Amino acid sequence: MSWEVVIGLEVHVQVNSKTKAFCGCSTEFGTEPNTQTCPVCLGMPGQLPVLNMEAAKKTALTGLAINADINLESKFDRKNYFYPDLPKGYQITQFPLPLVENGYLDIPTKDGGEKRIGITRIHMEEDAGKSMHEGLDGVSHIDLNRSGVPLMEIVSEPDMRSADEAIAYLKQLHQLISFLDVSGANMEKGQFRCDANVSVHQPGTPFGTRAELKNLNSFRFIKQAIEYEVIRQIELIEDGGEVVQETRLYDSVKGESRSMRSKEEAHDYRYFPEPDLPPLRMSRDELEAIRAAMPELPGQLRKRFETEYGLSPYDADVLSQTRELASFFEALVAAHPADPKRCANWLANELLGRLKEKGMDISDSPVSSQRLAGLLERIADNTISGKIAKDVLDAMMEADDDADAIIEAKGLKQVSDSGAIDAIITEIMNANPDQVAGYRGGKDKLLGFFVGQVMKASKGKANPGMVNQRLQELLKG
């Protein structure tokens, strides 16, 4: 039997505003527990929420970036459930009339094409606090610093047909969110969290019953969890069973999921309009101001790198992966404008390679764009060869010295003096009379041998172009 997989994703993104959605408490991560709370986010009676407009603007900006409709009037609702990390007993969210509706994202497919994934809606809501259970006997501990932190919930259409497509969508969305600077988007810190709705059916028949997978906090686990769920459902159906609509928790250690049935029982959120918040109205002018502040997005950046700097599509893609990397590249080109392609090569291959070995990110690079540009200048003016420059870059990774100081201290200056190069060549020719005779007898390939010997004798400092040229002349005899 052939089965088709249907996946829809709900992504919760923490908005990177300084304060919470409905009160003036800080949203800083990793501080002492319960030091960033107030009567509003603790759910004390009689406290009134006041909307943080920064959160609304960032949600609208995200909506514009996915080509969605922005509702100039949207409203807030209460979603009611009991859990100790939700002190009010309800979450403020948007139910029938969210701020953003009907968007999409185009994702790359394996055959090099594109596929459009619909985004049903993005609504604003607030995060819950954090519960801790580990190592505790019969009790749980609650930290409410996160209670009330603004979230956007980004809900996709059930348009994905494989775990790989789901991951491609999530990576694309993650990159977009990072470029828009609307969230820290750090998955380990819970700033970008994913729930997956998964079902299987036979092509041509209605969609199957779906299960919701929760607790997915890395791209790798999301892929594993979806793949596990697909197999579970197919086996269940083929054995004559039926998929039940339920929430399942994926255990990344065991590599399996289990049902959270008790949560199902309480799945009656009794939404009703939030009486404490009048509708959110945004004017056309406000919306246009948000649109005008839209930063350059990855696709636009990639195209500009190709046309403005003549980069290959591959380099342009690598250098537009993150905002930080793209800014580093542009700062590097500004400091070494003569050769943007050299900038791209040295950044994408040499510096990124060295950072990767150290497990570092471009933002922690010990070599700044200015220092790297200083090195590239010395290649451009033939002070050092590209090969020596790699050694200089190694040294720059370990010390704060600039390229010139390292070249000077280690005596790495390239020898471009023809007298000095001729002297080395003569010495090598005298030491290898057989090879000289061979070359003169027509074995052209021996040129490579001589180049190697001369470079070795000069400890790599001889100007390779000049070595080639002088060798060919002197070997003629």
- The alpha carbon dihedral of 393, 397, 402, 406 has a sign of negative
For other proteins, the binding residue among 11, 13, 25, 122 (CB under 8 A) is 25
Q: Which stretch binds other proteins (CB under 8 A): 24-32, 296-304, 386-394, 406-414?
A: 24-32
Which of 275, 411, 441, 477 lies at the binding interface for other proteins (CB under 8 A)? Answer: 275
CB-based burial of residue 430 (10 Å sphere; 0-12 exposed, 13-18 middle, 19+ buried)?
exposed
Q: Does 260 bind other proteins (CB under 8 A)?
A: yes
Site pattern 333..372 for other proteins (x: CB under 8 A): ----------------------------------------
Least distance (Å) between residue 72 CB and other proteins: 12
CA neighbours within 13 Å on the CB side: how many for 70?
24
CA triplet 370, 376, 377: central angle to 5 degrees? 90
Spatial separation of the C-alpha atoms in residues 343 and 354, rounded to whole Å: 15
DSSP β-bridge partners for residue 92: 78
Q: Give me the DSSP letters along 201-261.
A: E-TTS-----EEEEEE-SHHHHHHHHHHHHHHHHHHHHTT--PPPEEEEEETTTTEEEE-H
Cα(396)–Cα(270) distance, integer angstroms: 61
Q: Rule CB under 8 A: say whether 280 interacts with other proteins.
A: yes
**Binds other proteins by CB under 8 A, chosen from 255, 279, 295, 465:** 279
Shortest Å distance, C-beta 66 to other proteins? 23
- Judged by CB under 8 A, the residue of 2, 30, 82, 430 near other proteins is 82
458 is a site residue for other proteins (CB under 8 A): no
| C-beta neighbour count of 35 within 10 angstroms | 12
Of residues 77 and 402, the one with the C-beta less far from other proteins: 77
Q: What is the DSSP letter of 362?
A: G
CB 171 within 8 A of CB 218: no
Per CB under 8 A, 140 contacts other proteins = yes
* Least distance CB 125 / other proteins (angstroms): 16
The reply on whether position 289 binds other proteins by CB under 8 A is no
Do 277 and 56 form a contact (C-beta atoms < 8 A)? Answer: no
Of residues 284 and 445, the one with the C-beta less far from other proteins: 284
Q: Between 110 and 258, whose beta carbon lies closer to other proteins?
A: 258
Shortest CA distance to 3 belongs to which of 168, 169, 199, 157? 199
Regarding 146 and contact with other proteins (CB under 8 A), the answer is no
Tell me how far apart the alpha carbons of residues 192 and 18 are, in angstroms, rounded to a whole number.
17
Residue 304 Cα distances to 183, 219, 309, 313, angstroms: 25, 29, 8, 11
| Residue from 2, 30, 32, 285 binding other proteins (CB under 8 A) | 32
- The residues facing 124 across adjacent strands are 152
**CA–CA dist 399, 391 (Å, integer):** 13
Looking at beta carbons only, is 139 or 253 nearer to other proteins? 139
266: contact with other proteins by CB under 8 A: yes
Tokens of 157: 């259409």
62 binds other proteins (CB under 8 A): no
Compute the least distance from the CB of residue 181 to other proteins, in Å: 14
The yes or no reply on residue 71 touching other proteins (CB under 8 A) is: no
Question: For residues 97 and 420, which CB has a smaller minimum distance to other proteins in the complex?
Answer: 97
3-state SS, residue 458: coil
Closest CA to 148 of 61, 278, 43, 60: 43
Q: How far is the CB of 34 from other proteins (least distance, A)?
A: 5
* Smallest separation, CB 320 to other proteins (Å): 29
Largest Cα–Cα distance in the chain?
Answer: 100
Of the listed pieces 27-35, 152-160, 219-227, 350-358, which binds other proteins according to CB under 8 A? Answer: 27-35
Estimate to the nearest angstrom the gap between the alpha carbon of 289 and the chain centroid.
Answer: 27
84 binds other proteins (CB under 8 A): yes
CA dist list (Å): 287 to 14, 22, 59, 66, 99: 21, 21, 11, 15, 12
Q: By CB under 8 A, name the one of 108, 109, 132, 444 that touches other proteins.
A: 132
- The verdict on 139 binding other proteins (CB under 8 A) reads yes
**Is residue 270 a contact point for other proteins (CB under 8 A)?**
yes
**399 near other proteins, rule: CB under 8 A:** no
Any contact of residue 72 with other proteins (CB under 8 A)? no
Per CB under 8 A, 141 contacts other proteins: yes
453 is an interface residue for other proteins by CB under 8 A: no
Pair 238, 1: CB distance under 8 Å: yes
Question: Does residue 292 touch other proteins according to CB under 8 A?
Answer: no
The three-state secondary structure class of 133 is coil
Give me the least distance between CB of 291 and other proteins, in Å please. 19
By CB under 8 A, residue 33 contacts other proteins: yes
In the complex, the residues that contact other proteins under the rule CB under 8 A are 17-19, 23-26, 32-39, 42, 50-55, 73, 75, 80, 82-84, 97, 131-133, 136, 138-144, 260, 262-263, 266, 268, 270, 273, 275, 277-281
